[in-house]
Structure 1
Amino acid sequence: MATATSQPAPAPTLSTRGRLNGILFVALFALAVTQLAAISAIANLGISPLIVGIVAGAIYGNALREGVPASWAGGINFSARGLLRIAVAFFGLRISMQEIAEVGWAGLGVSLLVVGSTLLIGVWCGVKLLKLDRDTALLTAAGSAICGAAAVLAFESALRSAPHKSAMAVGSVVLFGTLSMLLYPVAINAGWLHLDTLGAGLFMGGTLHEVAQVVGAASNVSPEATHIATIVKMTRVMLLVPVLLLVGLWISRSPLPGQAQGKGRMAMPWFAFGFLALVAINSLHVLPAGLIHTLNGLDTFALTMAMTALGMETRWAQIRQAGPRALATGAILNLWLVGGGWAITVSVQSLLG
């Protein structure tokens, strides 16, 4: 009786090759995005390559998605998920405990109060008032409260939410963060907010969405305010890890309808512990400054790749379903950041001054 000889299946090789092609495609796309973001008209608005990446990726993914081979989908997905986790962890090399200590309890107090209140208001308004789904409300609140697009990416990775929800949250960060970046220096320099140099730094670092927006706004006030604002902003970034863990605990104890208790969807954010480890390494000053600079540049590029890939997976039809409500949530949060953030800054400065 003849036995059939099995032929080796080429599928794994083709799958690996397609995945690598997808990653390379995203990398080349992100390289073009980086060059586009470097144009002075865009850079001067405080718009980072991450933001340009998700917009350009979404335009490409909706207009020309048929031009991408199906075998590349695995590489695009890896860029939006696996690479994202690695990049968020390496974001820790931008922070040191010595810098955070420079602004003392005032900077920490403003950061804690702004982040905590903004998250609570964002989730309550988004879910209860505007009937958003919990993921979109959380992503929008996290982007406003912590560090803009980078926080949205970190929460997206832990929540494993749909790409279009991240796109809506990032859109809110871009719109209201840019408006605030342009208006803050005018209001502070005109004396409308009655803030001294320390107060201006605390206010801008504590309430603006993106790191680039903080630097852009504060540089139009004074070098001293820029230094304080940047450190306060990085203090907010440091809160990313404890917030992720607390939100994960909350989700596990408050499951969505149809889920059992303790069966929430938020994955354990192991990359957050990598983030903390790299903060500690950076605080020890054991790595050469040149290496840190290079790694930060590579990390920005990796985050740009992740944003670009998320954009490619985003569909306009999904955004249209909740877009106005997500923007309304972002608008409410921005009003809170301006008014509530100013009140928090003045109160903390008065209490600790």
Structure 2
Amino acid sequence: MAFSKEKRKGTISGIIFVAIVAAAATYIAALAPVAKLGISPLVVGIVIGIFYANTLHNHFPEAWESGIVFSGKKILRFAIVFYGFRITFQQIAEVGIEGFMVSLIMLGSTFILGTWLGSKIFGLDRDTAMLTASGASVCGAAAVLATEPVLKAEEHKAAIAVSMVVLFGTIAMFLYPALYSAGVFDMTPREFGIYVGGTIHEVAQVVAVGGAYGTEASDAAVIVKMTRVIMIAPMLILLGIYLSYAAKKSGGEGGVIKLVIPWFAVYFVGMAGVNSLIHGYVHGGASEAVAGLITSTIAYVNEIDTFLLTMAMTALGMGTRFAKFKGLGLKPIYAAGAMFVWLVVGGYFITKAVVATF
């Protein structure tokens, strides 16, 4: 146990250490050159964590390891639950059926296609393929973090998936505006916003791209992206059911397999529901003073939650050793690249078709 009498001091020291590194990551991410690229503190945190794991790890007390593991597991689940305070059901309703359908189709198709390509075509193990697919299909690094405990995957596999999100998400930030400005994307600003929100990896990247083309594009992009984010809960529940079925099938009919239900994903939806009720109250009958207080409180909660997610990502990086990557070669890049092509090309035609239909 992390907080047993023998491990308590080391666990607390490890958590404090992770928090200090996460604070440094938050500071670096706020610097203008980094912020302009849409690189979140989560990504900076994992980079610093990986640097620590492969250079300075042996110079720090081994007893701190329990605190690092605690940050990457327990604090992670807590942070994912409170990620629900970034979403309201009213926002999802605002973008209409078009945004919902694009989110649903792109999430489902990208996850299934990415998992199949990664494991069957490019030879990745199941966990790495699924983690990479979850990052591309839902919401980048946060989705990888949320999927990792359901798969019970090793830290280095999640780190690989996050690195793919960073690589292709960064490419998307420059590619999408270039193609749209050149007239390659024959879309209205609202259509382009739906397309951006339904296909680009990270929330910060969506904000950066959508915000460059006016309020209509920006609002559509962010709302569709947050629709994708909330879909991570049913996706993880379905994934848990699939893993239980697969384990039972491989273990024979007589085996008793415990159903894997990621309860933190269920609680995440619950928090989104609470936030939706609060949103309705703030915009429906609250006085200006009360509304301001509630809004600022939620913003503060989201800031704390981002820091906790940064801690979790930093801890994940601290458990990542380059030696574990041996033998993978360029397979993750091929798999993530194929998903990226699907998001850019397939996402464009799906967005056009959905908007024309509805």
Q: TM tier, shorter chain?
A: over 0.9
Inter-CA distance 32–273: structure 2 relative to 1 (3 Å threshold): same
The 5-angstrom pairing of residues 209-228 of structure 1 reads 209-228=201-220
What does the per-residue CA deviation read over 1:329-349, in whole Å, with 9 as the maximum and x for residues that have no partner? 100000000000001100001
Match of 2:338 in 1: 332
1:273 aligns with 2:266: yes
CA RMSD of aligned residues (A): 1.8
Q: Is the Cα–Cα contact under 8 Å of residues 22 and 72 in structure 1 kept in the other structure?
A: yes
Q: In 1, Cα distance between the equivalents of 2:256 and 2:35?
A: 43
Inter-CA distance 312–20: structure 2 relative to 1 (3 Å threshold): same
Match of 2:144 in 1: 152
Match of 1:142 in 2: 134
Match of 1:309 in 2: 315
What does the per-residue CA deviation read over 1:25-72, in whole Å, with 9 as the maximum and x for residues that have no partner? 000110011111111111111110000111110011110111221111
Inter-CA distance 41–347: structure 2 relative to 1 (3 Å threshold): same
Q: Is the Cα–Cα contact under 8 Å of residues 57 and 309 in structure 1 kept in the other structure?
A: yes
Q: In 2, Cα distance between the equivalents of 1:263 and 1:137?
A: 27
Report the CA distance between 1:267 and its aligned residue: 4.1
Match of 1:79 in 2: 71
Match of 1:13 in 2: 5
What does the per-residue CA deviation read over 1:226-248, in whole Å, with 9 as the maximum and x for residues that have no partner? 11100000000010000001111
Range with bigger deviation, 138-147 or 323-332:
323-332
Report the CA distance between 1:293 and its aligned residue: 0.4
What does the per-residue CA deviation read over 1:67-102, in whole Å, with 9 as the maximum and x for residues that have no partner? 221111111000000000000010000000000101
What does the per-residue CA deviation read over 1:96-128, in whole Å, with 9 as the maximum and x for residues that have no partner? 000010111000000010001001110110111
The 5-angstrom pairing of residues 1-353 of structure 1 reads 12-255=4-247, 259=251, 267-285=260-278, 288-352=294-358
- What letter corresponds to residue 54 of structure 1 in structure 2? I
- What letter corresponds to residue 118 of structure 1 in structure 2? T
Report the CA distance between 1:268 and its aligned residue: 2.4
Report the CA distance between 1:163 and its aligned residue: 0.3
How many equivalent pairs are there?
Answer: 342
- What letter corresponds to residue 94 of structure 1 in structure 2? R
- What letter corresponds to residue 120 of structure 2 in structure 1? K
Q: In 2, Cα distance between the equivalents of 1:54 and 1:193?
A: 34
Report the CA distance between 1:13 and its aligned residue: 3.2
Range with bigger deviation, 258-267 or 317-326:
258-267
**TM-score, scaled to structure 1:** 0.93
Match of 2:285 in 1: none
Inter-CA distance 263–120: structure 2 relative to 1 (3 Å threshold): farther
Report the CA distance between 1:281 and its aligned residue: 0.5
Report the CA distance between 1:203 and its aligned residue: 0.5
Q: Is the Cα–Cα contact under 8 Å of residues 241 and 261 in structure 2 kept in the other structure?
A: no
- What letter corresponds to residue 291 of structure 1 in structure 2? T
- What letter corresponds to residue 306 of structure 1 in structure 2? A
**TM-score, scaled to structure 2:** 0.92
Inter-CA distance 265–302: structure 2 relative to 1 (3 Å threshold): farther
Report the CA distance between 1:166 and its aligned residue: 0.3
- Structure 1 unaligned blocks of 5 or more: 1-10
- Structure 2 unaligned blocks of 5 or more: 283-293
Q: Is the Cα–Cα contact under 8 Å of residues 89 and 271 in structure 1 kept in the other structure?
A: yes
Q: In 2, Cα distance between the equivalents of 1:275 and 1:323?
A: 36
Q: Is the Cα–Cα contact under 8 Å of residues 83 and 268 in structure 2 kept in the other structure?
A: yes
Q: In 2, Cα distance between the equivalents of 1:92 and 1:292?
A: 11
3-state SS of paired residue (1:221) = helix
